[in-house]
Chains A and B, each alone.
Chain A
Amino acid sequence: MNLTLKIWRQKDSNDTGKMVSYNVTDISDHMSFLEMLDVLNEQLVNSGDAPVAFDHDCREGICGMCSLQINGEAHGPDRGVTTCQLHMRMFKDGDTITIEPFRAKAFPVIKDLVVDRSAFDRIQQAGGYISVNTSGNTQDANSIPIPKADADEAMDAATCIGCGACVATCKNASAMLFVGAKVSQYALLPQGRVEAKERVMNMVNQMDKEGFGNCTNTGACEVECPKGISLTTIARMNREYLSASVTKD
């Protein structure tokens, strides 16, 4: 198929940036979306132009490095996939595809389609951990039984890949699905209860400091999340936060 691509080009963080149109031809519907961009880049390199910079790594939907707002949707039109798992069979010959970086104040553009998501790291550093040193003398893994339902629910929350699609999709650029997922994982496990109060307070405070917006329960994040993280994680975080606010000394 032949396609017209409208792509955001921005030299660096100081550049104002603009949309630029490109044509690509003979795109196979077996290609992944990123392989289609590889074709474009090969074309650009061969004509001496700078290729389009975009983030990607594992190309199997787990590292969370790829992003892109495709025709206005985070990770494009398909559901339950990252951009690297999106296939060209979702498009048809003659389509015009608009490709932008993830949009949020807390995710500044570095170049073209590459954004800086280090705010996510800083939120995790504020409390996304259990304070246990490595020693080799930790108690036996089976010494605290955990109900299977809790372990499974913690796992569902823990599958978040930190891609930022929730933020890019949210009209408020809220990171609450991301933070809710981490808070939920630990809140559901006995090991995580010990520091639960400090954790939720610190992570939420850091989230606010980074400039992410608030949640207004539209649920767009849940729809676009490639890993199907549930809105209930936000509810749990809110409960944890409220409970920590009123009981913390």
Chain B
Amino acid sequence: MSKLDSKIPGGPIKDKWTTYKDKINLVNPANKRHIDVIVVGTGLAGGSASATLAELGYNVKAFCYQDSPRRAHSIAAQGGINAAKNYQGDGDSNYRLFYDTVKGGDYRSREANVHRLAEVSGNIIDQCVAQGVPFAREYGGLLDNRSFGGVLVSRTFYAKGQTGQQLLLGAYSAMNRQIARGKIEMFNRHEMLDVVIVDGKARGIIARNLVTGEIERHSAHAVVIASGGYGNVYFLSTNAMGSNVTAAWKAHKRGAFFANPCYTQIHPTCIPRSGDYQSKLTLMSESLRNDGRIWVPKKKEDVEAIRSGKLKPTDLKEEDRDYYLERRYPAFGNLVPRDVASRAAKERCDAGFGVNKTGEAVYLDFQSAIERYGAEQAKIQNIENASHAKIVELGEKVVEAKYGNLFQMYEKIVDENPYKTPMMIYPATHYTMGGVWVDYNLMTTIPGCYAIGEANFSDHGANRLGASALMQGLADGYFVLPYTIGHYLADDIRTGKISTDSPEFEEAEKNVTDRINQLVNNNGTKSVDYFHKRLGKVMWDKVGMSRNETGLKEAIEEIRSIRDEFWKDVRVPGAADGMNTELEKAGRVADFLELGELFAKDALNRNESCGGHFREESVELDGEQKGEAKRDDVNYAYVAAWEYTGDPKDAVLHKEQLEFNDIELKQRSYK
């Protein structure tokens, strides 16, 4: 029954990638000129893949829904990119990066893929520097590094708080060079709405021109999905407004298995929701937890007084504060991994200790860091008997130097000064580890259809470490796909141009047009956002940070009924020709309404707690770890890959058993 072959090469893990590259088929330069590749999405994965494939000689057609490839949401990544360069001489190596990533992912990723990722990580930094990416440097002129959560070395390269932007602009510049050469044909403001399968192979896509509304057929010898993650299924997330699952979902409906949809990263430090009108959530970098202490009041009456404005958080005495992360996890304190920190915040807020009007916020307090740094500065500057005010003044300067831009961003949004009063934060959806199932070649279960970057599932298991998303996107696009796709395309050198005048293209185009017409002619009474918000609420309440069987079963039913109602009652004003932003949203939400159900179904199936997926039924019952997440390696050490059979409720489960030969499976402990 299982069609899953991960195609992991044989041999020791450290030789697999090298040996594999030595043995694969190549396409000679003259033949590459006759081969077309479609890339959907121009973020770090899609952008780097498009550029590299074009450099190699393939004819690339790249698509993005934004007005320029430079705007893909990779641009918003703040913190940095990991690479096992060991420039700091602190004992880093490919093996350690591999180990940290597998462990951080709670042992639910594929060893061979992660090792390859670690192997090419150093090349990424070399490549980006050669492109002119202005990474942060030390006074000696060499590259600077910093440390991120979950690891013991400094391997994170960064460009201020805008690392994603700089890396994406690097990939964009490489694309521009190929666009100028005519090797990349760029389709801005286009959205892929179906993938076309001819004789069992992905041979093209149907796209909508978002300016003219025209439905276009594009053929190619292979199709690469690089469309990012699906966090917007929650309505509110740190994703861009346009981020969507549509390209990945259409591929799924045409035969690509969807893996581990329930693995979602809820990031602990985001600015809380302030009202129903809110359209998105803003992340505050993980680095803040190095110096910020997280707390809520110990007493309910203090919570009430703070909510009603009668009490200021700064007036609350030390003994009346509950630094719950330090209390629960003395070893890691405020620096526990993202999933653990998020669940702990939710636990306190659910118990009624949330500190804002919505009851969904905790404090991130820099007061003690300010005082500590201030006292240190007073000493360094030989200021005797410095007053408290002087110490605070000195300390604030240090904090400003480290986090100034983040504090400013917070103040712009919330209108409160985080130097003087603690920040309020709450977890928000940030990244999706699940995605389209791919084999070692990054090919989906549709021959000739690939998925790279956040759109695939393979490298982060059930939880992603900080600064690893950028690494994976660029690894896939610059250094993995360009090799593996050649192995497949070597069989296509005599195929010739793929015609778009086939019944398959006809059928796919009709499929797309029918759906669009249905949406614009629906004449319902409710806006697209009305349904999206309802879906988001169900997802957040029942398929969010903490999940249980009853809630998941309810969620499945509720999502189905919202979906039925959507198709009966959604109103999309305007026409299908010309720019219609409501129509774009409607199509994406329609897909989220299907994905949401599969997501809940997957979460229901996985009756274990691992990484970002927490099942209330699967917790440690006693001992030191009482109440913590309990993984079940005996029954669930597999990738859940779902096959579409006409309705998400009938999706068929295929299991890829994960084998750990180089890393011993252990319980993650942060106590």
Contact B71 A63 (CB under 8 A): yes
Contact with B along A132-173 (1 / 0, CB 8 A): 111110111110011110011011001101100000000000
Give the CA-CA distance A191 to B133 in the complex, in Å.
10
Instruction: Pick the interface stretch among A34-42, A92-100, A214-222, A236-244.
Output: A34-42
> Which one of A12, A30, A111 contacts B274 once the chains associate, using CB atoms below 8 Å?
A30
Determine the chain B residues whose CB is within 8 A of the CB of A38 once the complex forms. Answer: 277, 279, 529
Contact at A140–B126, with CB atoms within 8 Å? yes
Which chain A residues border B52 with CB–CB below 8 Å?
Answer: 134
B141, B172, B479, most chain A CB atoms within 10 A: B141
In the assembled complex, the CB of B245 is this many whole angstroms from the nearest CB of chain A, namely 16
Q: Contact: A191 with B129, CB < 8 Å?
A: yes
Chain A residue at minimal CB-CB distance from B478 = A134
Interface contact B573-A63, CB-CB below 8 Å: no
Instruction: Assess whether A57 is in contact with B479, with CB atoms less than 8 Å apart.
Output: no
C-alpha gap A164/B138 in the complex (Å): 33
Q: How far is the CA of A59 from the CA of B130 in the complex (A)?
A: 31
Contact size range, B = 35 or more
**Closest CB-CB distance, A203 to chain B, in whole Å?**
11
Any B CB within 8 A of the CB of A186: yes
Contacts A57-B242, A131-B177; A192 near B132 (Cβ below 8 A): yes
Q: Which of A47-97 contact B (CB under 8 A)?
A: 48-51, 53, 55-65, 78, 81, 85, 87, 89
A145 to B283, CA, bound (A): 33
For residues 173 through 199 of chain B, which have their beta carbon under 8 Å from a beta carbon of chain A?
173-174, 176-177, 179-180, 186, 188
A155 to chain B: which residues have CB within 8 Å?
134, 136, 159-160, 166
B176 contacts A121, CB within 8 Å? yes
Chain A: which residue is nearest B523 at the CB level?
A48
CB proximity of B59 to chain A, nearest CB, Å: 17
Taking a contact as CB atoms under 8 Å apart, the answer to whether A134 and B180 are in contact is: no
Which residue of the partner chain, among B136, B169, B188, B578, contacts A151 with CB atoms under 8 Å?
Answer: B136
Tell yes or no: B75 within 8 A of A by CB: yes
Complexed CA–CA distance, A48 and B574 (Å): 9
A189 and chain B: residue at smallest CB distance: B132
Flag if A142 contacts B142 (CB, 8 Å). yes
- Knowing A60-B76, A155-B166, A191-B132 touch, does A130 contact B573 (C-beta < 8 A)? no
Are B571 and A48 within 8 A (Cβ)? yes
Q: Is A185 an interface residue (CB 8 A)?
A: yes
CA distance A135 to B120 in the complex (A): 11
B282 at interface (Cβ–Cβ under 8 A)? yes
Residue of A nearest to B274 (CB): A30
- Distance in Å: Cβ of A89 to nearest Cβ of chain B: 6
Q: Is B11 an interface residue (CB 8 A)?
A: no
Binary A-proximity of B231-270 (CB < 8 A = 1, otherwise 0): 0000000101110000000000000000000000000000
How far is it, in angstroms, between the C-alpha of A39 and the C-alpha of B279 when the chains are bound? 10
Would you call A45 an interface residue if the criterion is a C-beta within 8 Å of the partner chain's C-beta atoms? yes
Whether the pair A145, B573 counts as a contact (CB closer than 8 A) is no
Q: Is there contact, CB below 8 Å, between B76 and A63? A: yes
- Check B176–A158 contact: CB distance below 8 A: no
The residues of A that contact B479 with a CB separation of less than 8 Å are 134, 136
Q: Give which listed residue, A49, A133, A158, contacts B134 with CB less than 8 A.
A: A158
Say yes or no: A62 contacts B76, CB within 8 Å: yes
Whole-angstrom CA separation of A59 from B67 in the bound complex:
15
A128 with B173: CB separation less than 8 A: yes
Contact of A65 among B66, B85, B127, B282 (CB under 8 A): B66
Select one of B66, B87, B280, B482 contacting A142, CB under 8 A: B87
Q: Is the CB of A89 within 8 A of B579?
A: no
Judge if A129 is at the interface, Cβ distance under 8 Å. yes
Closest approach, in angstroms, between the C-beta of B171 and any C-beta of chain A? 10
Q: How far is the CA of A87 from the CA of B128 in the complex (A)?
A: 36
Q: When the two chains form their complex, are residues B76 and A158 in contact, meaning their CB atoms are under 8 A apart?
A: no
Q: Which of B180, B283, B528 contacts A126 (CB 8 A)?
A: B180
B71 with A65: CB separation less than 8 A: yes
A28 at the interface (CB under 8 A from B): yes
Give which listed residue, A61, A120, A134, contacts B174 with CB less than 8 A. Answer: A134
A208 interface hit (Cβ, 8 Å): no
B binding-site residues for A, Cβ under 8 Å: 48, 51-52, 55, 66-73, 75-76, 85, 87, 120, 123, 125-132, 134-143, 159-160, 162, 165-166, 169, 172-174, 176-177, 179-180, 186, 188, 211, 238, 240-242, 274-275, 277-280, 282-283, 409, 412-413, 415, 478-479, 482, 527-529, 571, 573-574, 578-579, 581-582
Can you offer 23 A-B residue contacts whose CB atoms are under 8 A? A30-B274, A34-B279, A44-B573, A45-B527, A53-B579, A53-B581, A57-B71, A89-B415, A110-B579, A121-B186, A125-B180, A130-B173, A134-B52, A134-B482, A136-B127, A136-B479, A140-B126, A141-B85, A142-B85, A151-B135, A152-B137, A154-B132, A155-B159
Minimum-distance CB pairs A-B, first 3:
A145-B141, A129-B173, A155-B134
